[in-house]
Protein backbone atom coordinates (compact mmCIF):
# COMPACT_ATOMS: atom_id res chain seq x y z
CA UNK A 1 0.00 0.00 0.00
CA UNK A 2 1.84 3.07 -1.20
CA UNK A 3 -0.62 5.39 0.54
CA UNK A 4 -0.94 3.39 3.75
CA UNK A 5 -4.71 3.12 3.20
CA UNK A 6 -6.33 -0.21 4.14
CA UNK A 7 -9.01 -1.98 2.10
CA UNK A 8 -12.04 -2.94 4.22
CA UNK A 9 -13.19 -6.57 4.18
CA UNK A 10 -16.60 -5.30 3.09
CA UNK A 11 -15.10 -3.99 -0.18
CA UNK A 12 -13.78 -7.50 -0.98
CA UNK A 13 -17.14 -9.01 -0.01
CA UNK A 14 -19.05 -6.65 -2.30
CA UNK A 15 -16.59 -7.38 -5.11
CA UNK A 16 -17.41 -11.08 -4.77
CA UNK A 17 -21.14 -10.31 -4.79
CA UNK A 18 -21.00 -8.23 -7.98
CA UNK A 19 -18.49 -10.55 -9.68
CA UNK A 20 -20.08 -13.92 -8.98
CA UNK A 21 -23.76 -13.03 -9.56
CA UNK A 22 -24.95 -15.63 -7.08
CA UNK A 23 -26.92 -18.50 -8.61
CA UNK A 24 -30.43 -18.63 -7.20
CA UNK A 25 -30.37 -15.06 -5.91
CA UNK A 26 -33.14 -12.81 -7.10
CA UNK A 27 -32.10 -10.96 -10.24
CA UNK A 28 -33.32 -7.59 -8.94
CA UNK A 29 -31.06 -7.85 -5.89
CA UNK A 30 -27.86 -8.18 -7.92
CA UNK A 31 -25.50 -5.20 -7.86
CA UNK A 32 -25.11 -3.08 -10.99
CA UNK A 33 -22.76 -0.52 -9.42
CA UNK A 34 -20.72 -0.61 -6.23
CA UNK A 35 -19.07 2.69 -5.31
CA UNK A 36 -16.18 2.85 -2.88
CA UNK A 37 -14.75 5.85 -1.06
CA UNK A 38 -12.25 6.80 1.60
CA UNK A 39 -13.44 6.57 5.18
CA UNK A 40 -13.86 9.82 7.11
CA UNK A 41 -10.45 9.37 8.76
CA UNK A 42 -8.85 8.66 5.32
CA UNK A 43 -7.37 5.39 6.65
CA UNK A 44 -9.39 2.85 4.67
CA UNK A 45 -11.42 2.31 1.52
CA UNK A 46 -15.04 1.46 2.29
CA UNK A 47 -18.26 0.77 0.38
CA UNK A 48 -20.40 3.85 -0.22
CA UNK A 49 -23.79 2.23 0.44
CA UNK A 50 -25.81 5.33 -0.42
CA UNK A 51 -24.42 5.52 -3.95
CA UNK A 52 -24.39 1.86 -4.97
CA UNK A 53 -27.08 0.54 -7.32
CA UNK A 54 -28.88 -2.78 -7.61
CA UNK A 55 -30.75 -4.02 -10.68
CA UNK A 56 -34.05 -3.06 -9.00
CA UNK A 57 -32.82 0.56 -8.74
CA UNK A 58 -32.42 0.90 -12.50
CA UNK A 59 -35.22 -1.25 -13.92
CA UNK A 60 -37.32 1.78 -14.95
CA UNK A 61 -34.39 3.88 -16.22
CA UNK A 62 -34.42 4.91 -19.87
CA UNK A 63 -30.66 5.40 -19.91
CA UNK A 64 -28.84 3.08 -17.49
CA UNK A 65 -25.40 4.39 -18.44
CA UNK A 66 -26.44 7.96 -17.62
CA UNK A 67 -27.79 6.80 -14.23
CA UNK A 68 -24.53 5.01 -13.44
CA UNK A 69 -22.30 8.02 -14.17
CA UNK A 70 -24.70 10.34 -12.33
CA UNK A 71 -23.84 8.46 -9.11
CA UNK A 72 -20.26 9.79 -9.22
CA UNK A 73 -19.92 13.00 -7.17
CA UNK A 74 -19.00 16.16 -9.08
CA UNK A 75 -16.22 17.35 -6.79
CA UNK A 76 -14.76 14.30 -5.06
CA UNK A 77 -12.95 11.11 -6.04
CA UNK A 78 -14.39 7.59 -5.98
CA UNK A 79 -13.66 4.06 -7.10
CA UNK A 80 -16.45 1.97 -8.58
CA UNK A 81 -17.25 -1.46 -9.93
CA UNK A 82 -19.75 -1.33 -12.77
CA UNK A 83 -21.38 -4.52 -14.07
CA UNK A 84 -21.59 -3.44 -17.69
CA UNK A 85 -23.83 -5.17 -20.24
CA UNK A 86 -22.96 -4.66 -23.87
CA UNK A 87 -23.37 -6.36 -27.21
CA UNK A 88 -20.60 -7.01 -29.68
CA UNK A 89 -20.85 -8.35 -33.21
CA UNK A 90 -20.47 -11.86 -31.76
CA UNK A 91 -22.56 -11.91 -28.57
CA UNK A 92 -24.10 -10.25 -25.53
CA UNK A 93 -21.46 -9.69 -22.82
CA UNK A 94 -21.32 -8.72 -19.17
CA UNK A 95 -18.02 -7.48 -17.80
CA UNK A 96 -16.95 -5.71 -14.66
CA UNK A 97 -15.40 -2.32 -15.25
CA UNK A 98 -13.22 -0.79 -12.55
CA UNK A 99 -13.75 2.98 -12.50
CA UNK A 100 -11.25 5.44 -11.07
CA UNK A 101 -13.14 8.74 -10.76
CA UNK A 102 -10.92 11.75 -10.05
CA UNK A 103 -12.61 14.92 -11.34
CA UNK A 104 -10.57 18.06 -11.98
CA UNK A 105 -12.55 19.92 -9.28
CA UNK A 106 -11.68 17.40 -6.55
CA UNK A 107 -9.24 18.54 -3.84
CA UNK A 108 -5.62 17.85 -4.77
CA UNK A 109 -5.02 15.81 -1.60
CA UNK A 110 -8.00 13.60 -2.39
CA UNK A 111 -6.75 12.96 -5.94
CA UNK A 112 -3.29 12.07 -4.61
CA UNK A 113 -4.63 9.64 -1.99
CA UNK A 114 -6.96 7.94 -4.46
CA UNK A 115 -4.23 7.65 -7.11
CA UNK A 116 -1.70 6.21 -4.67
CA UNK A 117 -4.24 3.73 -3.22
CA UNK A 118 -5.55 2.41 -6.53
CA UNK A 119 -2.90 -0.31 -6.87
CA UNK A 120 -3.60 -1.71 -3.42
CA UNK A 121 -7.33 -1.79 -4.14
CA UNK A 122 -6.86 -3.43 -7.56
CA UNK A 123 -4.69 -6.13 -5.97
CA UNK A 124 -7.67 -7.08 -3.75
CA UNK A 125 -9.98 -7.30 -6.80
CA UNK A 126 -8.35 -9.91 -9.08
CA UNK A 127 -9.56 -10.68 -12.59
CA UNK A 128 -10.83 -7.25 -13.62
CA UNK A 129 -10.60 -6.98 -17.40
CA UNK A 130 -11.34 -3.27 -17.89
CA UNK A 131 -10.26 -0.09 -16.10
CA UNK A 132 -11.85 3.25 -16.94
CA UNK A 133 -10.04 6.36 -15.70
CA UNK A 134 -12.45 9.30 -15.59
CA UNK A 135 -11.11 12.81 -14.90
CA UNK A 136 -13.43 15.25 -16.62
CA UNK A 137 -16.96 15.45 -18.02
CA UNK A 138 -15.82 14.35 -21.50
CA UNK A 139 -14.47 11.12 -19.99
CA UNK A 140 -17.96 10.37 -18.58
CA UNK A 141 -19.40 10.15 -22.09
CA UNK A 142 -20.62 6.85 -23.48
CA UNK A 143 -18.01 6.87 -26.25
CA UNK A 144 -15.14 6.88 -23.73
CA UNK A 145 -16.40 3.64 -22.16
CA UNK A 146 -17.17 2.08 -25.54
CA UNK A 147 -13.54 2.73 -26.52
CA UNK A 148 -12.40 0.84 -23.40
CA UNK A 149 -14.66 -2.10 -24.30
CA UNK A 150 -13.22 -2.43 -27.80
CA UNK A 151 -14.46 0.55 -29.80
CA UNK A 152 -17.41 1.28 -32.06
CA UNK A 153 -16.24 -1.25 -34.65
CA UNK A 154 -16.78 -4.05 -32.12
CA UNK A 155 -19.44 -2.78 -29.65
CA UNK A 156 -22.97 -2.52 -31.11
CA UNK A 157 -24.94 -1.54 -27.98
CA UNK A 158 -24.37 -0.62 -24.32
CA UNK A 159 -27.02 -1.32 -21.67
CA UNK A 160 -29.53 -2.11 -24.40
CA UNK A 161 -29.03 1.18 -26.27
CA UNK A 162 -27.83 0.98 -29.87
CA UNK A 163 -24.74 3.01 -30.67
As a whole number of angstroms, the distance between CA 108 and CA 101 comes to 13
As a whole number of angstroms, the distance between CA 85 and CA 127 comes to 17
Is pLDDT of 138 > 80?
A: no
CB distance 33 to 83 below 8 Å: yes
SS3 72: coil
Domains and CATH numbers, the chain: 6-162 (3.40.20.10)
Given this model, what pLDDT does residue 1 score?
42
Is pLDDT of 140 > 90?
A: no
Is pLDDT of 10 > 50?
A: yes
Computed over every residue of the chain, the mean pLDDT equals 90
Residue-wise pLDDT tens digits, 85-131: 999 989 999 999 999 999 999 999 999 999 999 999 999 999 899 99
CB distance 158 to 142 below 8 Å: yes
CB distance 124 to 11 below 8 Å: yes
Q: What is the torsion angle, in degrees rounded to the nearest 10, for the CA atoms of residue 4, residue 71, residue 55 and residue 95?
A: -60
Percent of the chain with pLDDT over 90: 68
Residues 6+ away with beta carbon under 8 Å from 97: 81, 82, 84, 128, 130, 131, 132, 145, 148, 149
As a whole number of angstroms, the distance between CA 123 and CA 7 comes to 10
Phi, psi of 73 (to 5 degrees): -65, 145
Segment (H or E) for 16: helix 9-20
Given this model, what pLDDT does residue 92 score?
93
Residue-wise pLDDT tens digits, 21-69: 655 568 888 899 999 999 999 899 999 999 999 999 998 898 999 899 9
Amino acid sequence: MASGVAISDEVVSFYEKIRVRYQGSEEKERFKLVIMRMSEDQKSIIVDHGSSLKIKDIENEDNIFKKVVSMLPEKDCRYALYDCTYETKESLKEDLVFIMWAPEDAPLKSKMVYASSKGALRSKLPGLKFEWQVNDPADKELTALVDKLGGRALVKSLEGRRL
